[in-house]
């Protein structure tokens, strides 16, 4: 249960959001990534993709699989993912290291294909977001 203040002080003495102190992976994520602006287009595409895969699951589940996702989706390089076809989708569906949901996989591939249009129109993905 979250403290009434929403702040938890971890064993290292660092105050964090209550959820950010529940697991070592969450601690690292909270302390180095959460709430910090991201302006790098590839990292933004990764975050968008991982958020989509999280739907119906916990963020911790996705964090635990993040390196597997990065390998499976070519480090979330949008141009590479945009070239994924039926064989890649089948490969991803067989990959136990990621969330194997066909709709989420197809959405990520489609988003990669739409990414180029947004960069053309807005100059960068970060400018669009």
Q: Which amino acids are annotated catalytic?
A: 29, 51, 59
Q: What percent of the chain is helix, strand and coil (3-state, nearest 5)? A: 65, 5, 30
**How far, in Å, CA of 73 to CA of 125, rounded?**
18
Rounded to 5 degrees, φ, ψ at 9 are: -105, 120
**Taking the CB of residue 12, how many other CB atoms lie within 10 A of it?**
9
**How far, in Å, CA of 51 to CA of 55, rounded?**
7
* Secondary structure element (H or E) that encloses residue 17, with its range: strand 15-17
């Amino acid at each position: 249960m979250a403290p009434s203040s929403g702040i938890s002080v971890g064993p290292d003495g660092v105050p964090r959001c209550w959820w950010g102190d529940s697991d070592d992976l969450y601690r690292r994520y909270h302390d180095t990534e959460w709430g910090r602006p991201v302006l790098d287009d590839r990292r933004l595409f990764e975050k968008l993709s991982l958020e989509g895969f999280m739907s119906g699951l916990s963020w911790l589940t996705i964090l635990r699989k993040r390196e597997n996702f990065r390998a499976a989706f070519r480090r979330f390089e949008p141009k590479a993912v945009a070239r994924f076809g039926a064989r890649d989708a089948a490969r991803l569906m067989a990959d136990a290291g990621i969330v194997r949901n066909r709709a989420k996989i197809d959405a990520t591939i489609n988003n990669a294909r739409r990414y180029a249009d947004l960069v053309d129109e807005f100059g960068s993905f970060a400018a669009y977001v």
